[in-house]
Chain A
């Protein structure tokens, strides 16, 4: 089975540009998570969805960040406008509810974003 698929793997952009990160979760998983990893702050949960509905977006840094999940097989994380401090690795992960799963999160390979 294919794992969580993220694109792009690497993105280099200039300050002020719009950035869109994409994620395809594992089929059958009903939870989707976006995490950000930096040296200073470690792994931070930005937002997560259950059955395509955003449940908790309290980790989204500010209004420049937005996330959508239009269907069960696709999600985007958008940054507009981007700033140098947004440079990080962004991970998407998916899981099944406890009743049908183990609670384990399956991670994608991450998207490394560099904002110049």
Chain B
């Protein structure tokens, strides 16, 4: 069974700073997707960024980028120039490409951006 671990329950940084959220996972699969989802106080889950395991290049979406280390099974999220609107719960998630197409989530990291 796949597991996803986020070791930082809470983080807090000042606006405009850079912050990195950690995520590790355990799987025997060789092909899979990794995701970071954001859940703001409004509660709706929103996709932040997505990485295919077979791609060596790290995914980037504007101020959001990942550091994907496949051998180490690590998938961290870096938020540059953080903004107040980035305040939310962030969930790391794993999905195998073969077999069951279901998302396994980590426990989440509560990120607060302070003015």
> Which residues on A are within 8 Å of B, measured CB to CB?
31, 33, 42-43, 45, 48, 50, 55-56, 89, 91, 93, 95, 97-98, 102-105, 107-110, 112
Q: Are A107 and B95 neighbours in the complex by a CB distance under 8 Å?
A: no
Q: Are A104 and B43 neighbours in the complex by a CB distance under 8 Å?
A: no
Q: Are A110 and B43 neighbours in the complex by a CB distance under 8 Å?
A: yes
Q: Are B43 and A103 neighbours in the complex by a CB distance under 8 Å?
A: no
Nearest CB on B from A83, distance (A): 23
In whole angstroms, what is the CA distance A93 to B95 when docked?
14
In whole angstroms, what is the CA distance A112 to B41 when docked?
13
Nearest CB on A from B33, distance (A): 5
> Which residues on B are within 8 Å of A, measured CB to CB?
33, 35, 42-47, 50, 91, 95, 97, 100-108
Chain A residues with Cβ below 8 Å from B47 are: 104-105
> Given the known A-B contacts A43-B91, A103-B33, are A48 and B105 also in contact in the complex, defined by CB atoms under 8 Å?
no
Can you name 18 extra interface pairs (CB under 8 A) apart from A55-B100, A105-B45, A110-B44? A33-B102, A33-B103, A42-B105, A42-B106, A42-B108, A43-B91, A43-B105, A45-B103, A89-B43, A95-B101, A98-B97, A98-B101, A102-B33, A103-B33, A103-B97, A107-B45, A109-B43, A112-B43
